[in-house]
């Protein structure tokens, strides 16, 4: 096992005189044995960053180190990493055992050692019964476990996961998330996991790196990122449903928007133009609160999502499904505790201290 250091890493693609920079000098430190998830929308650069760590993409600038060794100019096979891809990349004509053992055979590991490692990994992943089967005889979740087993037997210093759950259905994704967490708890190998799914990020990570347009927006624990997003991008990306964001103007103890005035019971960071943020679960239905016109009500089992418009801005409220549901077109009141309000600068889109 080893730590992973990413320092001022830049990636550019050149076509003649044109230069397209997709990674803009990102830096992150991953501790030995830590599980980090890189999350962001498609095209934000997260997979490119992972591929640079793996050595599959050249670095335009900056430095990547695994342990104490800078690996910028080291071939992928010599970096002592193992990668699990979105597509399982299994050899269809080989058995599960041979798929897991293939890399070790190429590395000329002794046959007895190969058998020991493969059977130990199969036991961890609960696929011992499938070792003699071909990939075509397995389900998608079982194939993904074989792909993870192939990485485990390598006994690498770093695991790299490139959206490995994207091809699984919702039930299998949830099941495989649990298996990956158990796997990390047992092996304790430094891991970098890339996904566009913020639920995967929040449930898997010890720390999360949120990326946007080739930059790191925020690094922190899932709890810290959810409770105190550093920008409107993070606030709107992390959370299902995401945080409600509404541009307003603060005038004394009131919020003004499009001719509507909302009373402000607490203090704001300053007066003037700002963006307020409210998590859907932090708004409570109350006849004396801010007036919201209901547009749609969604039942999600134990909870409801009430979609409406507050001061002509879209707004979502999460409520207990056991409470009476309002009807579309109805005006309901919202109570929001002052400590639940998040404040952002409308120009920089960054969080304001309160």
**Whether residue 159 sits in one domain with residue 44:** yes
Report the pLDDT value the prediction gives residue 175, as an integer from 0 to 100.
83
Q: Identify the band that residue 213 occupies on the pLDDT scale cut at 50, 70 and 90.
A: very high
**Whether residue 139 sits in one domain with residue 270:** no
- pLDDT single digits (tens) 70-88: 999 999 989 999 998 888 7
Q: Say if 3 falls within a structural domain.
A: no
Q: Say if 12 falls within a structural domain.
A: no
Q: Say if 64 falls within a structural domain.
A: no
**Whether residue 340 sits in one domain with residue 248:** yes
Q: Say if 183 falls within a structural domain.
A: yes
Which CATH number goes with the domain that contains 87? 3.40.50.300
Asked if 101 and 118 touch (Cβ cutoff 8 Å), the reply is yes
The two structure tokens encoding residue 175: 């099941």
Q: Say if 65 falls within a structural domain.
A: no
Report the pLDDT value the prediction gives residue 206, as an integer from 0 to 100.
97
> What's the CA angle centered on 21, arms 15 and 24, to 5 degrees?
160
Which residues, including other chains, have CB under 8 Å from residue 52's CB and lie 6 or more apart?
9, 11, 23, 58, 59, 64
Closest CA to 166 of 185, 147, 191, 186: 147
Report the pLDDT value the prediction gives residue 17, as an integer from 0 to 100.
86
Range of the domain at 189: 30-58+75-233
Out of 213, 233, 253, a domain closes at 233
Which CATH number goes with the domain that contains 325? 2.40.50.140
Within 10 Å of residue 59's Cβ, how many Cβ atoms? 20
**Which sign, positive or negative, has the C-alpha torsion 227, 229, 232, 238?**
negative
The mean pLDDT value of the chain amounts to 93
Which residues, including other chains, have CB under 8 Å from residue 37's CB and lie 6 or more apart?
193, 194, 195, 200, 201, 204, 205, 207, 208, 209
Q: Say if 333 falls within a structural domain.
A: yes
Residue 22 has pLDDT above 90, yes or no: yes
pTM score, two decimals?
0.90
- pLDDT single digits (tens) 245-271: 999 999 989 999 887 888 888 889 999
Asked if 57 and 51 touch (Cβ cutoff 8 Å), the reply is yes
Residue 144 has pLDDT above 90, yes or no: no
Q: Count how many domains the chain has.
A: 2
My answer on whether omega of the bond before 241 falls inside 30° of 0, hence cis, is: yes
The two structure tokens encoding residue 299: 């039942």
**Whether residue 145 sits in one domain with residue 43:** yes
Report the pLDDT value the prediction gives residue 169, as an integer from 0 to 100.
83
- pLDDT single digits (tens) 151-185: 999 889 999 999 988 888 888 888 888 888 988 99
**Whether residue 81 sits in one domain with residue 208:** yes
Out of 190, 212, 233, a domain closes at 233
Report the pLDDT value the prediction gives residue 283, as an integer from 0 to 100.
94
| Rounded Cα distance, 215 and 22, in Å | 9
Mean pLDDT for the stretch of residues 55-73: 95
Report the pLDDT value the prediction gives residue 179, as an integer from 0 to 100.
84
- pLDDT single digits (tens) 283-328: 999 888 899 999 999 999 999 999 999 999 999 999 999 999 999 9
Report the pLDDT value the prediction gives residue 166, as an integer from 0 to 100.
84
Asked if 33 and 223 touch (Cβ cutoff 8 Å), the reply is no
**Whether residue 217 sits in one domain with residue 339:** no
Ramachandran region, residue 47 (left: φ > 0; alpha: ψ -120 to 50; beta: rest): alpha
Out of 199, 233, 267, a domain closes at 233
Report the pLDDT value the prediction gives residue 16, as an integer from 0 to 100.
85
| Rounded Cα distance, 115 and 284, in Å | 59
Report the pLDDT value the prediction gives residue 89, as an integer from 0 to 100.
82
Report the pLDDT value the prediction gives residue 160, as an integer from 0 to 100.
95
Residue 99 has pLDDT above 90, yes or no: yes
Closest CA to 275 of 297, 318, 243, 252: 243
């Amino acid at each position: 096992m080893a730590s992973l250091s990413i320092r001022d890493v830049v990636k550019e693609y050149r076509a003649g005189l044109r230069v397209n920079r997709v990674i803009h000098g990102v830096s992150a430190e991953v501790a030995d044995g830590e599980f980090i998830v890189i999350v962001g929308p498609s095209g934000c650069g997260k997979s490119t960053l992972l591929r640079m760590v793996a050595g599959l993409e050249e670095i335009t600038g900056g430095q990547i180190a695994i342990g104490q060794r800078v690996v910028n100019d080291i071939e992928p096979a010599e970096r002592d990493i193992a990668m699990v891809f979105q597509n399982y990349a299994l050899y269809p004509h080989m058995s599960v055992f041979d798929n897991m053992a293939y890399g070790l055979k190429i590395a000329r590991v002794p046959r007895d050692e190969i058998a020991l490692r493969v059977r130990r990994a199969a036991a961890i992943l609960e696929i011992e019964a499938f070792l003699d089967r071909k990939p075509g005889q397995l389900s998608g979740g079982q194939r993904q476990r074989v792909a993870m087993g192939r990485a485990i037997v390598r006994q690498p210093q770093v695991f790299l996961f490139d959206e490995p759950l994207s091809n699984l259905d919702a039930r299998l994704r949830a099941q495989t998330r649990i298996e990956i967490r158990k796997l990390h708890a047992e092996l304790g190998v430094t891991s970098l996991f890339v996904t566009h799914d913020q639920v995967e990020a929040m449930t898997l990570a010890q720390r999360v790196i949120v990326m946007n347009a080739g930059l790191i927006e925020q690094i922190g624990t899932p709890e810290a990122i959810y409770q105190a997003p550093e920008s409107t991008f993070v606030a709107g990306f992390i959370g299902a449903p995401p945080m409600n964001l509404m541009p307003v103007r603060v005038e004394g103890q009131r919020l003004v928007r499009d001719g509507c005035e909302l009373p402000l019971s607490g203090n704001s960071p300053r007066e003037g133009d700002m963006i307020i943020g409210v998590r859907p679960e932090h708004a409570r239905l109350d006849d004396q609160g801010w007036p919201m016109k209901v547009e749609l009500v969604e039942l999600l089992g134990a909870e409801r999502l009430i979609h409406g418009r507050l001061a002509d801005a879209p707004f979502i409220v999460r409520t207990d499904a056991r409470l009476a549901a309002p009807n579309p077109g109805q005006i309901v009141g919202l109570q929001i505790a002052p400590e639940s309000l998040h404040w952002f600068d409308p120009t920089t889109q960054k969080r304001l201290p309160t």
